[in-house]
Structure 1
Amino acid sequence: MNILFLHRIWPSYGGGETVTKCLANELTERGYNIHILYFKKSIKKNEDSDVNSKITQTLIPNVSFNETSKEFFVNKKEAKYVSKFTIEYILKNKIDFIINQWWPIEFLNNVRNQTNAKIIKCLHMDPDTKRVFHFNGAFGLLFKIILPFYRYIERKKHIYSLDKYINHSDLLIFLSPSFLNFYRLQKGNKKNIVLKTDFVYNPLVYNIDSPINIRQKENIVLFVGRLLEKHKQLSRILYAWKKIEIQNDHNNWKLIIVGDGPSKELYQQLSKKLGLKKIEFTGYQNPLQYYQKASIFVMSSAYEGFPMTLVESLQNSVVPIVMDTYSSLHDIITNNVNGIIVPNGNIKAFSDAIYSLIINNKKREQMATLGYDSCKKYHIKTIVDKWEDIFHKIK
């Protein structure tokens, strides 16, 4: 069986690419022929080392896009070019299934008409994303009045975009049951919608067969992710960390930022402005060594789908503290059991949650143990079993 994954950037960029590498490697081990089509090669060191050599990776040249934007603005000439290239590739390599990770539908408009390949579209974000806005004065008051209407329009926009994908795909895959149920409910649980939708969790990346010795953990609070403010909102974590440093009674703790991206300089400048002392920016690194040492993991994203870093923290017995901005969070974290969920935008509550774990070793160790136990359902073999069921379902 021949399977084609579609990406914008490859092989390293974010969680989506990491997931594809895990799935592609496991599927290859099971005897599938795996192909990757992409538009831009990433430039990180040793990026190809974790991709099985049997996987065919092909660059489609001269495709333009803004990698910092969720939106993908496509011109007709470019769409025609990519579509023609892809159709020829599918026919030449006898592709059975296309797993569309990041391509817009304009690039696949003619694929279903001219090939027999089944198209599976993966949705990476919460279909009901709720951004938080901070406005002061008269404008802030006005925005509070119109906010419900804005939310209504935003939700309709999300649903419309999903409708376009479902009309041009054989199956729509969500990353969590909460995402799936939300969309089905918005569409009235119609039979055709139920038949063309499903969910699959993202798999664990690391092969860790036994829990890490929690008592050997260090006094580290950890952030892992792409440094892009409009997405990850790391500034919130920096402001929360400032409150921790001000208390000064546990100054043997350190905040480590693992990752790189367009907002790195912004964060370094903000860190300097806030006078943060116990902080380190590592740049892009394999985060495993940091997970194994860290005690607390922090996330303040404006939106997420099914964040790999959150599940990775659980797998490595790092207790997560997360702002409540996406519904799949509640599929992963049970508040005050295997992690702490903080109201969206509440910097004080976020700082208080960090401090509560810093001062309470017993609570932190209990939550770390429960966190490790809670992530076993995301094992790669379990996830690929689900994918194989999907292939048989729509074949």
Structure 2
Amino acid sequence: MKFVDEARITVQAGKGGNGCVSFRREKFIPKGGPDGGDGGDGGSVYLEATESINTLIDYRYTRHYQAENGKGGQSRNCTGNKGADMILRVPVGTGAFDEDTGEKLGDLTEPGQKLMIARGGFHGLGNTRYKSSTNQAPTQSKPGQPGESRNVKLELKVLADVGLLGLPNAGKSTFIRSVSAATPKVADYPFTTLVPNLGVVKVEEHRSFVIADIPGLIPGASDGAGLGTRFLKHLVRTQLLLHIVDVAPFDDSDPAENVQAIANELEQFSPGLAQRDRWLVLNKLDMVPEEERDARCNDIVERLQWTGPVFRISAINREGTFKLSCEIMEYMEARRARAEDDEEFAEQILAERDQVEAEAREHIEMLAERRRQLRELNEDDDDDDYDVEVIYLRE
């Protein structure tokens, strides 16, 4: 199935049913009084998170959704039926945004969680509601209110604790295969990973975390080069970034410069994301003679002036991968415990995540606007060329 992480839909909630104007008419009761019932509320539109699907592809083909209208009230004080709600099932990790205002409607991060994105119209009132001592035979009623209508943008961000960064062919897919049961494609050419892959890393019984492998980045990715910013947004909700580095690139490029190039792309995409905890993982040690490993790894770290944690692994041989997994698990547990005990720290985590999401959305929208302007410019240039050609032929 094709992986789709964005979709735009239009939703229309149901209209409330109209109130009824009616009077009681029974034998031997000439003046029965008003008995018009209220209408029913219109159905609302909800998103519901489910683990049974992992893509938004269905919403690329069907874009309009409408909930049922409420039924009108009836005589004998009968209330109209409420319109049925429309439930749209989406993958866990989906966020909803109002396309017209940019307002964030909410996130669905737990299976079974629901989010109302369009409220049904309120029911109309029957004439029974208007009777009083001075108005014993009211002929007025109230119509039902229209339901909300929205243009909604759905964005799926994979839910992972750890995100993998690195150039194509740095060994990210091999690493996730070595520490989890995930089986992303591995080959000896760049961009073998075209969609995010998730893997559950189980350190021991009841101790595990989720790791996400996104397609490799290249210089200029923040401006749309390669796979561009399409998958960078999937790192927004991660707590830790692992920067996988090939210590022996087949193209003889400088590993330290490769690290700095990716760091620059992160900074341009989202300064907040660039400040997130990031560990350096020197991979493919099996490609370096054992007596040269220390010197090569130390040289990379020194030239980067790296002050954070550094790990040396060979993902294909699973050398050093278990130790790294244990360190990640301890980091996650310590972070989780601190968030539970320190309310200020927990609020800081949420604020940082919101900041990164806002920066990512702003950057993506900026690129989309730039592409639109370039398309318009190219169309104008094509028109100018055609005009010049016509003038030349006439001469």
Normalized against structure 1, the TM-score is what? 0.26
Indicate the structure with greater strand content: 2
When you count helix as a share of all residues, which structure comes out higher?
1
**Structure with more contact order per residue of length (Cα contacts < 8 Å, sep ≥ 6):** 1
